[in-house]
Structure 1
Amino acid sequence: MLFINTRPQDRAESLSHALRMAHIDVLDLPLLELLAKPWSAPLSWLYEQLSTAEVIVVVSPTAVEIGMDYLKQSTFGLDDLRHIQWIAVGEKTAETLARYGIKASVPLVETSEGMLQLPVLDGLHAGTVIAFWRGEGGRVFMMDQLKQQGMKILNFILYLRQCPLLTTQNFAQTAALLQQHKNYVMVLSSEASWLNWLQLLQNFPTLIAKGHYLLLGERLYQIVLNYKKSQGSCFNIARLTDLKTESILQQIAIVQGNT
């Protein structure tokens, strides 16, 4: 059994190490690369409005680090934001915020849908200001849902997301390796990662059927399920509620038991 670790390089190491300790073959193949956007006048204006927010939603450890770095360039400091409620998409993001002395609410399911169910968002009145620290293309569903409820959104696009150049350049060799395996397991945590994977497989269409895809959250599960139905493809999918190593190991054990 081959496990393809698609996490960004800076977040992949601990998972890959744990899997190898469990005697699972691992191929590190990041499908997303996060690049900070340069400081700009629009970002400066957003930071000037930040003290009006009642909630800040932070979607990744990268968003924490870039957001805090740019906060130093604004007219506000972290002490000016102590009254704000913070939401982190998952435990890793919450741990990164904790290094800045911030306690964040974390959903049981580490997705937009999970965050929308947090008690901190209950009872907010129309016009409440909610800030998003995010990457380009990320968490649009959550923002749209809150806009429909009458919330005012401050949209901080702090970084770009793209398929890493090395992943693209070396994919012919990767495809040759995958051809040698009967199947593989892959965790996908976002629609962007899924779309990048489909793009990589354009010239290797038979490889998709070898996959057992572990998908974070219901929405991504439905996206991939709909693709599977529309394309008449034959591959296996399962839901994940979080990206904890033990959860991934449990799912891999299920896959191994079925193969």
Structure 2
Amino acid sequence: MLFINTRPQDRAKPLTMALHQQSIDVIELPLLELIARPLSSDLTGLYRQLQSAKVIVVVSPTAVDVGMKYLNQLQISLADLAHVKWIAVGQKTAESLIKYGVESLVPDVETSEGMLSLSALKSLDTRTNVAFWRGEGGRQFMMDTLISQGHKVLNFILYDRHCPEQSKQVIETIKQQLQQSPSYKMVVSSEASWLNWIELIQNNRGILNKADYWVLGERLFQLLLNHQKQNKLSFKITKLADLKIDSITQQIAVAQG
């Protein structure tokens, strides 16, 4: 079995090691790189409104680190935010918050839909301020849903998401490997990752059709399904509830029979 590990470079190794222990061939190809934005006047203005928020949604460990760095720079203490409920998209983000002494709520399903199902969001009074610590393009569906429910979103875009230059440099070699392989598995964790993948392989039908894409959540599943139908492709799609290493290795055991 050939597996493409698309996790960010700083988080790819534990999964690669676990897969190697199961004698799985792994190609590491990060599809997203997160680069912090500078503390602009617009961001500073949002931080000055942060105490009005009842909830802060944090979407990644990078959002935690950048968000806390700017809190410190602006001399806003966590004590000033003691009334706030923190929501983390997943366990890794929650663990990053714990390093700063912040406990958070984590959905059972680590997606926008999973977070929206939390009682802390479902029970909000109308016109509540909800802050998002996120990257460019992330969690738009979740913010739009809350706005449609009458809430005000404080939109902290703390970093940009790019396709890593290194991945662009090695993609031709990887294409050759995939053309020679009968099939491969690949985790797709976000819409941005998927779009970067499509751009990298330039919509190569032969490579696309060899894949079994393991996607995070129903919305991403539907995104790939629509792409498949619109382009008359025949790749496989498998839906994952989370991106934990144990969950991925269990799915591999299922795939291997």
Partner of 1:227: 227
- Partner-residue secondary structure (3-state), 1:213: strand
TM-score under structure 2 normalisation? 0.98
Structure 2: segments with no counterpart, 5+ residues: none
Partner of 1:83: 83
Partner of 1:29: 29
**Would you identify which runs of 4 or more consecutive aligned residues in structure 1 move more than 3 Å?**
none
Deviates more, 1:244-253 or 1:41-50: 244-253
- Partner-residue secondary structure (3-state), 1:57: strand
- Partner-residue secondary structure (3-state), 1:23: coil
Partner of 2:123: 123
Alignment of 1:130-209 (within 5 A): 130-202=130-202, 204-209=204-209
AA in 2 matched with 1:234: S
AA in 2 matched with 1:206: G
Structure 1: segments with no counterpart, 5+ residues: none
RMSD: 1.0
AA in 2 matched with 1:120: A
TM-score under structure 1 normalisation? 0.97
C-alpha separation between the residues in 2 aligned to 1:95 and 1:138?
20
C-alpha separation between the residues in 2 aligned to 1:82 and 1:217?
32
Would the aligned equivalents of 1:186 and 1:212 in 2 still touch at CA under 8 Å?
yes
- The number of residue pairs the alignment matches comes to 257
Partner of 1:250: 250
- Residue 205 of structure 1 and its aligned partner are, at CA, apart by 2.8
C-alpha separation between the residues in 1 aligned to 2:204 and 2:226?
20
Deviation by residue 1:126-163 (Cα, 9 ceiling, x = unmatched): 11010000000000000000000011110000000010
- Partner-residue secondary structure (3-state), 1:215: strand
- Residue 203 of structure 1 and its aligned partner are, at CA, apart by 6.3
C-alpha separation between the residues in 2 aligned to 1:102 and 1:176?
46
- Residue 30 of structure 1 and its aligned partner are, at CA, apart by 0.2
Would the aligned equivalents of 2:31 and 2:163 in 1 still touch at CA under 8 Å?
yes
